[in-house]
Structure 1
Amino acid sequence: MMKTSAVQLGFDAVGFAVGRGVSQLLAAGNKLVGGPVSRVLSSRAQLALFVSVTRCNALLVVLGAAVSLRVAGWLYPYSELVTVMMFCSTLLPMGMWLRLEPKASFLVSSVYGRQLRVHLPDTSLTARDVVSFKRQTERLVHIAQLTRTKTLQFDSPLLVADSTRQHLLRYVESAASLHGANITIDVDDAREVDVVAQGSLSVHEERYDILRVGRIATGPNGRLLTRKVLVRLRRR
């Protein structure tokens, strides 16, 4: 048993280190180019690209374009048109992400077919945050309709707190009513993140620490708790 525990501890340490290392790399990149990237991801041009790619299933569009251009490059290795098309196709993966506002914003990804995954900003839910939260939720539901999305998935340690979760549920229901969307909402129980996710989230500890007491919670193993909220959109 002691040997198994030691092996498990070793795997946990490696998993934590991998998660933290990747997150630190992303954080360093964000410090260097985060501002310009956020402005690009929240621009009207990015919204148009996101809707266009996601409406046709973003993953299939990107993979299909990559395979087609690879074959075209093999068949016509000296074609300038193919070269130009291959250069333009590098923009397609960018269409799989969207930031709803430049700062304190939902980050939406469309990597999993007809499911949009939504990452919440670690706001303090001040009056200004609440107004922004509501506005972004309304935009999100409208975008989900435009892209024929089947589910919106929120999964965040912030949703363990009753206040944040209730705000989200209320605003999603309000946005669905505003845009005439037919939805059902499933709320999972809080669960402890795995060691890789804990390593990744550990980079944000300082920002989490300044949030109100009770917004962030830990489980029996000392790792952060998270909760998933799944919004299903059905066509009328």
Structure 2
Amino acid sequence: MSHSRSFVQSGVDALGFRVGRSVSGLLALGNRLVGGYISRALSSRLQRFLFVAVSRCNALLAVPVATVVLGIVAWLYPQSGLVTLLIGFCGLLPLGMWFRLTPDASFLLSSVYGRQLRVHLPVTSLAPRDVISFKAQTDDLIGLALRVRAKTLHFESPLLVADSTRQHLVRYLTRAAVRHGADITLEVADPREVDSIAQGSLSLHADRYGLLRDGRVAAGQNGRLLTRRVLVHMRRR
């Protein structure tokens, strides 16, 4: 019985790995083709304005409510050119749920969960130049989070398993909060092993992870990467 359960679990893990790798592969292909253009667009001043506007209104509510309202207005006034223009603008609202701090390797923010911002870390070696950029981006991040009235910042990455990266992040977040007049509380979770889908997705970054110093990323007992979550609760003073 245990042998059958183990066989099924292995099959599920293998399928999950393939799904994660396939999805990540499509995204990686798109990134190679148009990634540079997308990064510049996501880090533009216009995108920053759109991100602040959408997130400040709580993206989780603003996007679907605006879509429904404009749909009703379009049904009532089908010949109105203004409605057509507004519908086109409404199509831009979901794009305002993402923002990259700089065009190059930088934090990528997502407000898909409303005022619970997800922050995705770039693969960095924490060389002197990376540390300076890391510090500047953290300061910009706290200021931006205050502008959109974010309640939490959610970080989760295999890079945070390393004590050096985690300590840098916690230190810079704390200092930035003081500069911007924000009260923050940090929760640092224990490392955990990713699931098979996430492992498949992260496997495409193996070459970049391999260039990092030993100990920057680690694997669990099942051979999958370990990840760590850092959660920041924010309150304005």
User: More displaced, 68-77 or 152-161?
Assistant: 68-77
CA contact (8 A) 2:181 2:236 kept: no
- TM-score, structure 2 as length reference: 0.97
Q: TM (normalized to structure 1)?
A: 0.97
Counterpart amino acid of residue 168 in structure 2: H
Distance 1:115 1:68 in 2: 24
Match of 1:117 in 2: 118
In the other structure, the counterpart of 1:175 is 176
The superposition leaves residues 152-199 of structure 1 with CA deviations (integer Å, 9 ceiling, x where unpaired) of 111000000000000001100110011111111110000000111111
Give 3-state SS (helix, strand or coil) of 1:9's partner: helix
SS in 2 for 1:155: strand
Indicate the residue corresponding to 1:67 in structure 2: 68
Q: Which residue of 1 aligns with 2:80?
A: 79
Q: Which residue of 2 aligns with 1:131?
A: 132
C-alpha contact 2:188 2:231 (8 A) present in aligned 1: yes
* 1:25 match: 26
Residue matched to 1:12? 13
RMSD between superposed Cα atoms in Å: 1.0
Is the aligned partner of 1:157 residue 2:158?
yes
2:104 corresponds to = 103
Tell me which residue corresponds to 1:145: 146
Please state whether the residue corresponding to 1:215 is helix, strand or coil: coil
- For structure 1, the residue ranges without an aligned partner over 5 or more in a row are none
Residue 210 of structure 1 corresponds to which residue in structure 2? 211
Q: Which runs of 5+ in 2 are unaligned?
A: none
Matches within 5 A, 1:188-227: 188-227=189-228
Kindly state the Cα deviation for residue 38 of structure 1 after the two structures are TM-superposed: 0.5
Question: Which amino acid in structure 1 is aligned with residue 68 of structure 2?
Answer: V
Q: CA deviation at 1:114?
A: 1.2
How far has the Cα of 1:77 moved from its partner? 3.0
CA distance in 1 between counterparts of 2:35 and 2:62 reads 26
Q: Distance in 2 between matches of 1:157 and 1:120?
A: 10
CA–CA distance in structure 2, aligned partners of residues 6 and 69 of structure 1: 51
Letter in 1 for 2:6: S
How many pairs are equivalent?
236
Distance 1:133 1:103 in 2: 12
Range that drifts further, 103-112 or 84-93: 84-93
Q: CA deviation at 1:13?
A: 1.3
Q: Does structure 1 residue 54 correspond to structure 2 residue 62? A: no
